[in-house]
């Protein structure tokens, strides 16, 4: 009787040992598989079936529109899904006369929604004194500074395109101080407005204007605009890369008759850029 009980105990103990060894082996296998599928070489964890390059973008909202990508301290407009025409029609533009063809963009689609274009009443919008230069406010035809217009209208997104006017006689300090004052005036008047500052198109190779503009000067101004965006925390849109050729000159097909203004075709190219770089 005792021998039978002892034998049964030995069998139970042997079975328990086998189960323990099996559990240990299974645990080691699971650990190795999970580590292989879930850890990048640098130790960064990610879900199985994804890669470190597909980690969710903290700026990206449910619409797929990205809120900005920092590059060298500058918040550049990132690529996004197609935002559609309605997005473009609801942009507000503050620009000098070289970009004034944007005024007719909406009409190409039978829309008047893009009529919120703020153009200088004087015909010139130099960066150095942009904050105090009056624009024609489209709602009533009155003259207002950009800050006053922003306070009244409270635009959701304001695109700024300026910098070429009076550039040849402007220093870096004067340019950046004036441009910064403009942005700060708008930020103070309309804190919720998302401000987008654009690098500007160049001049054509045949340009012979009396204002002394050159591709070199405009490239320098675009560097200053980028610096201002970094210091004020607003968005930077590199329209120069859209409007200019590899040689740094304004593409002929995007140039107006004067060799400096942006043609309707150039405006369309710029609007295509904004349509695919939404915020």
How many CB atoms are closer than 10 A to CB 267?
20
Closest CA to 23 of 13, 35, 31: 31
65 by Cβ neighbours in 10 Å (0-12 / 13-18 / 19+) ranks as: middle
Structure tokens of 142?
Answer: 């009155």
| Beta-bridge mates of residue 236 | 76, 197
First to last CA, the chain: 85
pTM: 0.75
Q: What are the chain's domains?
A: 2-54 (no CATH), 69-275 (3.40.50.1110)
Distance (Å, rounded) from C-alpha 67 to C-alpha 174?
Answer: 30
Q: What is the pLDDT along the chain (279 residues), one digit of tens a residue?
A: 445 555 545 554 555 565 555 555 555 444 444 433 333 333 322 222 223 233 333 333 333 334 455 666 899 998 999 999 999 999 999 999 999 999 988 776 665 555 689 999 999 999 999 999 999 999 999 999 999 999 999 999 999 999 999 999 999 999 999 999 999 999 999 999 999 999 999 999 999 989 999 999 999 999 999 999 999 999 999 999 999 999 999 999 999 999 999 999 999 999 999 999 999
Structure tokens of 163?
Answer: 């910098």
Structure tokens of 120?
Answer: 């200088």
């Amino acid at each position: 009787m005792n021998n039978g009980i002892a034998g049964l105990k030995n069998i139970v103990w042997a079975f328990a040992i086998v189960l323990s060894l099996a559990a240990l082996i299974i645990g080691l296998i699971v650990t190795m598989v999970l580590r292989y599928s879930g850890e990048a070489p640098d130790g960064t964890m990610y879900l199985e079936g994804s890669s470190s390059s597909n980690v969710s973008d903290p700026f990206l909202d449910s619409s797929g529109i990205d809120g900005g990508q920092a590059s060298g301290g500058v918040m550049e407009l990132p690529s996004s899904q197609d935002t559609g025409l309605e997005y473009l029609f609801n942009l507000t533009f503050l620009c000098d006369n070289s970009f004034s063809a944007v005024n007719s963009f909406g009409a190409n689609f039978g829309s008047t929604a893009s009529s919120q274009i703020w153009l200088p009443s004087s015909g010139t919008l130099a960066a150095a004194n942009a904050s105090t230069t009056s624009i024609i406010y489209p709602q009533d035809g009155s003259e207002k500074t950009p800050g006053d217009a922003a306070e009244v209208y409270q635009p959701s997104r304001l695109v700024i395109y300026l910098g070429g006017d009076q550039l040849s006689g402007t220093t870096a300090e004067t340019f950046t101080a004036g441009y910064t004052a403009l942005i700060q005036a708008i930020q103070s008047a309309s804190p919720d407005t998302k401000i987008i500052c654009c690098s500007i198109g160049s001049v054509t190779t045949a340009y012979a204007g009396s204002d002394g503009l050159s591709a070199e000067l405009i490239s320098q101004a675009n560097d200053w605009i980028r610096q201002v965006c970094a210091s004020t925390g607003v968005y930077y849109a590199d329209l120069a890369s859209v409007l200019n050729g590899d040689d740094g000159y304004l593409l002929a097909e995007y140039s107006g008759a004067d060799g400096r203004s942006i043609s309707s075709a150039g405006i369309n190219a710029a609007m295509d850029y904004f349509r695919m770089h939404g915020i």
